[in-house]
Structure 1
Amino acid sequence: MNGDPRVVGVRRFLVGQAGPFPRVVFREEVFAQMDQFAQEHPSGESGGFLVGRKRNLKSLEEYEIVVDQFVPLAQARGGASRFALTKDHYQAVQRSLQSSGSNLRIVGWMHSHPGFGVFLSAFDKQQHERLFNRPWQIAYVIDAQLGERALYHCVDHAWRELPGYYILRSEYGPSGDRGRGARWPRRVASLLLFILLVCAGVLGYQWVSSRYIEPSPSQVAQNTEPVPVPSGQESVVTVTPAPPSVTQSQSAEQRPEPPKPREYVVARGDSLWTIAEKVYGDARLYRLIAEANNISNPSRLRTGQVLVIPDNPEE
């Protein structure tokens, strides 16, 4: 349909610090899906597969890992004390990707630690080295209750926590010709600039005329007509009193007070995604809260922290 939105561009946002190789990139909708999945399973460990691409780079980093999909696995009834994967799980996801003709592959796994922090246990490391033994496969751990996340990488049994990762956000616009959509803001800006130049020219001409161009005496004489005054009567001058001036205190009283910004106190288990879902009804608007509060790492929130909630510009 002509009114459906389409992707017109993408932007990357760094969470944490830009660390050494490898570079890991999560699509924003996948990152929010994993966060929601972890919150919906608070009774025990749960998780799934990370599906995406290994993109080669023409740099010292050699490649980057892009996570395009999250494939969750059903949680055991009553919750499991630990999240266990098998070769059957791994091969079933691989067969599904191959049968669909997709060029995506399994790039790692994700599991949750509800309420007891983010780390990799000895069991987790053994499971990773058994099933995810490629150097570009990663392990992602999330504790939705404490609002903590961590990303791990292993090469030759040497484990390392990555200091940061990137969020890939798609920019949407109306469907149709992308070039047309990209040109119309420039046309509007050109029209506004033209109007400003015309207004400036008119005002400048009036100012120069009033300051430097004086009327000739003949024009003054022609435009001056005597005002007859009846004999025996005095001319009457009517003085109209000036309107009372408004003092600064009165204007300050009449000026409406600006609305106070909304505030939100972070509770246990909150994240910017869940807070955005509560206040805006859309978890993808978490970036408004992060920018208003100068938060460079959206995954690090403190219980009791007071956040300023800006208005939604789309409303």
Structure 2
Amino acid sequence: MSLYISYGQEVMPVAQITATITDAADIRALDCVMPDYIKVSRLSKRLAELMHLPPVGPDDYPINYGLIIKGGYLLDPEATLAETDLPKPLTLRIVPEIAAAQDEIDTFGEPMTGEEDESELDEFEIETGEQIALIHDDILAARPDVRIDAAVHKKIEAFARKDRHTECAGLLLGTVDCEDTATVIHISAIAPAEAAEGTRTSVRLTLEAWESMLWVRDHKYGHLRVIGWFHTHAGWGVFLSDPDVFIHRHFFPHPNMVAYVLDPTSGSDGFYFWHEGKISPCPNYGLVGTADEIQLHKNETQAKAARGRRPDLRDAIIGLLVLLVLGLGFAAIPLGRAHHHREKPRQRTAAVKPPEHVKDKPAVTDKPAPPADKTYAIASGDNPWSICNRIYKNGDLGTALMRYNGLPPNPRLSIGQQIKLPSKEKLEKLAGH
């Protein structure tokens, strides 16, 4: 059936464009037939609805969507498909312009007013087929074993250090495989968002940023798939804000997709994964590389921990002001009260002195010595929960085991790293069981 469009007295035939539409992360696709006379900006909005993508962001501003030719360029939002040189067959990715921010999103530009010219009020139809899945993983419900190449981890750190007080972002690329009953998510490349607009509290993934990221993904790492995204927090610590969760939930919703957060000012980082329908912190992740790369990373991590955060001028001024206020406050305290506080440590020391009669007790020589701690070397796929579940038959002791070794609850464990294994009784006591 032929279609026509009338411009006053002139009647022109309408060409139909056949295309496959995919989301930004290549999770699902939709075959469709579209008219060629509609502006790309309007087509993007309608296609977002058909792909069940959110119309507004967490800031209640309408999301601006764009179309990018797979392996090609971003379509001009003001042009029509008839005015664009399109390849055949045609695959278009629909991408959002959206910001990851610290809860209250910085506004870039003016909000949409909802005003449209008369030509944009014309009705048009897009014929579609059924949505099809592009990812077919065998295991979806298992806790993932997240691994990242040491060289890739270093690239993210270097990208973040370009301006550690400005947030940045990018795509995580790699493979997903099954080992026994575990899902191994292996990150072996990144596509940094070089064109993103960052501030100290947010990073906006513009349509141009998506264009550059997907070009890298298609031309350099076409054999890899998108398995998540990363972004930095410039001094805010490691967590997912509400806007971050919104992005992951709507644009990286596959169960085997992860989010990585790095705070370059402190070196702290962490992964987040899908667990029972919720986005949860990943217990740990593995670093993959040569022995030299692993050792270098370990040395750098220890150096960062020893050096601590290096304050900038702003932090130093704030610190001096705090010390000045505290100094004035202490100067106002009566000397008697200050003397009383100085005497407390001496009183506390005297109170814990052993009683004299303890010396007269005979030494006990037949009491067995407590069992010595065993040493355990971290293997591939290990995390605190799996280690305790296998050795102590209780994975919930993982946090206590890490505390016993002087590590955080969800540390970055490297293959070959050695930890101490105390008795189960000692660990249960430490855990308060």
TM-score range, shorter chain: 0.3 to 0.5
* TM score, norm. by length of structure 2: 0.34
Q: Which has the higher contact order (CA 8 A, sep 6+)?
A: 1
Bigger Rg, which one: 1
